[in-house]
Amino acid sequence: MNENKEQETTDNSTLTPATEELTPVNNADLSIDELISKIDLLAENENPYTVSKEVEELKSIFYLKLKSETKVEKEEEKIIDSTEEETSEESPKEERTLHPHEIKFKQAYGKYKKIKFEYRKNREKEEEENLKIKKTIIEDIDKLTQEDESIKKTFEHFRILQEQWKNTGHVPQTENNGLWQSYHHHVELFYDYIKLNNDLRDLDFKRNLEEKTAICEKAEALLNEKSFNKMHDNLQELHEHWKNVGPVKRELREELWERFQNISKTLNKKRNDYFLSKKEKDKEKLSNKNTICKKIDELTTETISSHNKWQELTNQCNELEVEWKNIGRLNKTENTLAWKNLRATLNNFYHKKNAFYKQKKEARNTILKVKIGICEKAESLQESTDWQGTGNKLIKLQDEWKNAGFSPADQSNKIWKRFKAACDTFFDARKAHYKTQDKEKEACYKEKAELLKELNSFKSTSDSKADIKQLKEFGNKWKVLGHVPRNKMKINDEFFSLINSKFEELGLSKKALATEQYKNKVDSIKGNDKALSSEKQFLRGKIDNLKKDIAQYENNMSFLGNNKGTEPLRKQVELQITKANTEIENLKQKLQILNKG
């Protein structure tokens, strides 16, 4: 191999994979303001192309963070109010209002883009000028072989042209390879075909050998460089330097070039191996990040119906998000995809959470309306003097309040105080009323106790009519006396039990006795609407059952033939019908007594 092939090898080395260098400061950890400040700082770089990759990375990170921040703001508003509708991604495109952070970012990024554009224009102009200069240098080297000057002067002129070539900057990339080959060709022609002084030529070969050997040593030292991007950039600079150094003795050229080429291949392989390894690690990281996203999705596969459960799942989600971030960054493309996947996963989680709290808020508002309705009903009853009926209604409203469901204390406490005040107003008034009544009822009790003694001392005579009349007078007096305290109502049962026994002593017929006893029963429950209503319902129920029995008896008789064999059974059924009709009449008579009573 000869040095004419070094340009090809140098170009190939630039085709190795290039990704971002791991830096002490992770740009993903910077805040939005810090990202903007860093772009402002990078825009001041002399060569904006050296920071182009990092600027684009900062741009990508900025928009991910801005999107995350604006979504978090919306999520917090939904949790507090749960009234805002999410903007559909499929809605027609409208001119949107830029976020203040985005305005600042666009100013900084626009400044960088403008500087980069101006730099590129100036560099293109400079490269065209450099191309003209280098072409002139090649022409001048070619002319050296045609001049009749002294060897020493010609060689000094050649050295000046070499230095001029070395100090001339870059040319357009499309011209670079062909231009260098042309230069190298003319340099070799100068060394090999013009008649130079051997001592001077050997001295130059020696100097070139030392310089190219130093280049090889510098390249070999790069094996210890920890930064792969720095190693790559330095190697490219060494290749550029190599191209600007003249030739060495022909017998040493192949050996020296192979040394430099081998270390270049070793360095490129080391760098490529690193990035291949990093790619595999990134692949594993991406898989782990996607697994965590699936775990977050699985948190809400079942319906969650409690605040505590959502709190527990939110903590788990936060822990998984931290675990996702601790895995580390990936290459630029996969890092963007991974963030997009995480953001979609978190959006899904918080969308379900927000829907739960929105529904819960609506349910609480419904409960609050129910409680307000209960409170208003209680307030409409608080001045009532229907102590029994209203008391039952308020107790029922209290049960409704308990069963209405939970609502936050800051919302329901005020309503609860109103409801309690309305109930207390009524029950306090009823308690005061009953306290006054109890004093009156105590006097009634004493009178009834005296009347019970009189009834107990009553003795029947031979005049049963007069006795019946006197016993009825006892009953009338008892009714007129009114109510006794609740804890002493047993005296009523004692009185009616005693008066029934007195009626039995008079020897009345069973029917008359039963009538009087029932009248006494009715008298004992007068004033108790619930007991009277229950008694009426009981009597009507018995009448309905007896009528059904009669209908069944009559239906059974229709199946009995008119013959001697069925006659006894027929008479038995007729007797049952008669007995039922008689009982119905007695029950109707009792209903009349109840209605009159």
| CA–CA gap between residue 393 and residue 399 (Å, rounded) | 10
Distance CA(205)–CA(474), nearest Å, equals 154
Asked if 281 and 273 touch (Cβ cutoff 8 Å), the reply is no
Quick one: tokens of 360?
Answer: 């819960």
Q: Encode 231-257: b = buried (16+ Cβ within 10 Å), e = exposed.
A: bbebbeebbeebbebbbbeeeebeebb
What is the C-alpha to C-alpha distance for residues 208 and 205, in angstroms, rounded to an integer? 5
From the number of C-beta atoms within 10 Å of its C-beta (0-12, 13-18, 19+), residue 260 rates as buried
Distance CA 264, CA 235 (A): 7
Please tell me the predicted confidence (pLDDT) of residue 169.
79
The predicted structure's pLDDT at residue 74: 58
3-state secondary structure of 227: coil
Cβ-contact 531, 492 below 8 angstroms: no
Residue 182 CA to its chain's centroid (Å)? 68
How far apart CA 62 and CA 40 sit, in angstroms, is 13
**Amino acid making up residue 59:** K
- CA distances 53 to 95, 234, 236, Å, are 30, 18, 18
Helix ranges (DSSP H) in 299-408: 307-326, 332-381, 387-403
For 473-534, the DSSP string reads HHHHHHHHH----GGGTHHHHHHHHHHHHHHHHTT--HHHHHHHHHHHHHHHHTT-HHHHHH
Q: What residue segments make up the domains of the chain, in order of their start?
A: 528-597
Q: How far apart are CA 8 and CA 6, in angstroms?
A: 5
Query: Assign residue 41 a region: left if phi > 0, alpha if psi is -120 to 50, beta otherwise?
Result: alpha
Residue bearing tokens 């059924």: 573
Judged by phi (left if over 0) then psi (alpha if -120 to 50, else beta), residue 150 lies in beta
Q: What is the pLDDT of residue 214?
A: 93
Q: Could you give the CA distance from residue 246 to residue 209 in angstroms, rounded to a whole number?
A: 9
Q: Distance between CA 494 and CA 343 in Å, rounded?
A: 84
Q: Output b/e per residue, 136-147; b: 16+ Cβ within 10 A.
A: ebbebbeebeee
d(CA 483, CA 485): 7
Report, as ranges of residue numbers, the positions in the chain whose pLDDT lies below 50: 1-24, 76, 78-94
What tokens appear for 260 in the block? 């430099």
Kindly report the number of other CB atoms within 10 A of residue 55's CB atom: 21
pTM of the model: 0.41
DSSP strands (E only) in 225-325: none
> Distance between CA 469 and CA 494 in Å, rounded?
20
Burial of 507 from C-beta contacts in 10 A (0-12 / 13-18 / 19+): exposed
- In this predicted structure, what is the pLDDT of residue 258? 92
CB neighbours of residue 180 within 10 Å: 19
Q: So what's the pLDDT on residue 565?
A: 66
Cα–Cα distances in Å, from 294 out to 10, 72, 346, 351? Answer: 46, 21, 11, 16
Burial class for 353, CB neighbours closer than 10 Å (0-12, 13-18, 19+): buried
**CA 205 – CA 203 distance, rounded (Å):** 5
Q: List phi, psi (to 5°) of 521.
A: -65, -45
Q: Give the whole-angstrom CA distance, residue 408 versus residue 287.
A: 44
